[in-house]
């Protein structure tokens, strides 16, 4: 539901009210068994034994379980945009969520069930303002709050079901400018984000997990796009972030001041595109740099940064475009991010060729 009207005869006001409902069912069979190592050079008689349908191999509690989850979220939200002047806009919004999670863990080996039903009723909101300095230059600022569970609600364990939601808040200010008769667009921003009540250890008993930790991020972003000629366009993107933990205790020690996992400090990308006039063909070159990151909260394992180079050639027809991409042309060997273990790293894709076709209708 929305309304666009003039308050007091001269102030434009746009109001919207909405509701949303989401429901998810998840059933997951988790089976873990003891199994000897396989000789990669002589796998005869070893490969093909797994998986097995025999229940005898699930020889421990938790080794053969069914996870059943239901997650229902009902949301009500409202937003308002009020023009204090034709060039000055005030915005605000509020959102209420009712989150109902049902978990049932069935251990087929131990013949037991564990049921729990965490519910949450968070409220989040935001306020902001946009001001047109000129028709081509705008500045803005906003402050917002948010919530996030301590772990995925569809997979949350009984030991974490009683924790409340982690609460976040952020502030951002920036600008957008269109220069040189609209040929160049520049967008810049600086921001600050704080997340509280993340899981940490009890200072009096480090064997206990409690809420109370926090982490912050502050950063800046800049993007620019310019039409150098009628055929040549260049784009640039830069990002910097300083992220760190605060009041975070783990069995291995105090992680305060350390950088969060999988967070690079700097990211940069640049591209250039040339479009021929005589034929419907365009060429693109793209370069991206990603700074290094840590794979553990102790900041022990560090993955160095990398640079990748891509290029493409596109051919346009009336209602479709064919694009041939060359990815990672220098065949850079690099780590993208860390998964379940600090010593396990997902390796980026090697040099490859990709053909894409896009339809318009």
82 or 340: whose pLDDT is higher?
Answer: 82
Question: Residue 205, Cβ neighbours under 10 Å: how many?
Answer: 8
Q: Which residue is it, tokens 């081509």?
A: 136
Average pLDDT, the chain: 91
**Residue 313 in contact with residue 329, Cβ under 8 Å?**
no
CA terminus-to-terminus distance, the chain: 30
* The predicted structure's pLDDT at residue 252: 80
* The predicted structure's pLDDT at residue 125: 98
Question: What does pTM read for this prediction?
Answer: 0.82
**Residue 19 in contact with residue 98, Cβ under 8 Å?**
no
Q: Say if residue 291's pLDDT is above 80.
A: yes
pLDDT in tens, 314-323: 999 988 999 9
Helices (H), the chain: none
Q: Say if residue 328's pLDDT is above 60.
A: yes
Q: Say if residue 4's pLDDT is above 90.
A: no
* The predicted structure's pLDDT at residue 323: 97
Rg (CA), the chain: 26
**Residue 192 in contact with residue 217, Cβ under 8 Å?**
yes
**What CATH number should be reported for the domain whose range is 74-94+118-359?**
2.40.170.20
Q: Say if residue 43's pLDDT is above 70.
A: no
Is residue 160 classed as helix, strand or coil in its secondary structure? helix
213 or 354: whose pLDDT is higher?
Answer: 354
Say which range, 23-27, 72-76, 209-213, has the weakest mean pLDDT.
209-213
Distance CA 83, CA 89 (A): 4
Distance CA 162, CA 164 (A): 6
**Residue 35 CB partners (closer than 8 Å, separation 6+):** 49, 50, 57
Q: Please give the torsion angle defined by the CA atoms of residues 331, 333, 337 and 342, in that order, rounded to the nearest 10 degrees.
A: 170
Residue 100 banded pLDDT, cuts 50, 70, 90? very high
* The predicted structure's pLDDT at residue 157: 84
Report the candidate in 92, 93, 91 with the shortest Cα–Cα distance to residue 130: 91
* The predicted structure's pLDDT at residue 35: 58
Exposure letters 130-145 (e unless 16+ CB within 10 A, then b): bbeeeeeebebebebb
Please, which contacts does 197-201 make with residues 24 or more away whose CB atoms are closer than 8 Å?
Answer: 197/164, 197/165, 197/166, 197/167, 198/150, 198/166, 198/248, 199/150, 199/160, 199/163, 200/247, 200/248, 200/249, 200/250, 201/249, 201/250, 201/251
Residue 50 banded pLDDT, cuts 50, 70, 90? low
* The predicted structure's pLDDT at residue 55: 56
* The predicted structure's pLDDT at residue 263: 96
Span 135-161, average pLDDT: 92
Q: Say if residue 52's pLDDT is above 70.
A: no
């Amino acid at each position: 539901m929305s309304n666009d009207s003039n308050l007091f005869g001269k102030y434009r006001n746009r109001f919207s009210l909405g509701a949303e409902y989401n429901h998810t069912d998840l059933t997951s069979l988790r089976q873990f068994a003891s199994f000897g190592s396989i000789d990669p050079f002589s796998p005869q008689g070893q490969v093909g034994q797994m998986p097995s349908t025999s229940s005898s191999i699930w020889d421990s509690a938790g080794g053969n379980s069914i996870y059943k989850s239901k997650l229902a979220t009902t949301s009500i939200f409202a937003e308002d945009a009020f023009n204090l002047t034709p060039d000055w806009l005030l915005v605000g919004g509020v959102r209420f969520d009712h989150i109902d999670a049902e978990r049932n863990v069935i251990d087929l080996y131990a013949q037991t069930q564990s049921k729990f039903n965490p519910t949450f009723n968070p409220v989040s909101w935001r306020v902001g303002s946009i001001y047109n300095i000129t028709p081509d230059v705008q500045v803005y600022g906003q402050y917002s709050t948010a919530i996030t569970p301590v772990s995925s609600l569809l997979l949350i364990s009984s030991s974490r079901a009683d924790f409340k939601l982690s609460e976040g808040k952020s502030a951002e200010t920036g600008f957008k400018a269109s220069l040189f008769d609209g040929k160049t667009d520049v967008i810049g921003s600086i921001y600050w984000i704080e997340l509280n009540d993340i899981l940490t250890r009890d200072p009096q008993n480090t064997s206990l997990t409690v809420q109370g930790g926090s982490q912050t991020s502050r950063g800046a972003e800049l993007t620019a796009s310019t039409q150098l000629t009628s055929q040549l366009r260049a784009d640039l993107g830069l990002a910097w972030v300083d992220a760190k933990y605060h009041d975070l205790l783990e069995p291995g020690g105090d992680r305060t001041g350390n950088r969060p996992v999988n967070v690079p400090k700097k990211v940069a990308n640049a591209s250039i595109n040339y479009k021929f006039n005589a034929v419907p063909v365009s060429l693109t070159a793209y370069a991206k740099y990603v700074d290094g990151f840590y794979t553990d909260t102790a900041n022990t394992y560090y993955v160095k940064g990398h640079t990748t180079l891509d290029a493409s050639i596109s051919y346009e027809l009336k209602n479709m475009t064919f694009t041939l991409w060359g990815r990672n042309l220098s065949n850079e060997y690099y780590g993208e991010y860390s998964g379940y273990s600090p010593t396990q790293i997902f390796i980026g894709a090697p040099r490859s060729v990709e053909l894409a076709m896009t339809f318009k209708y």
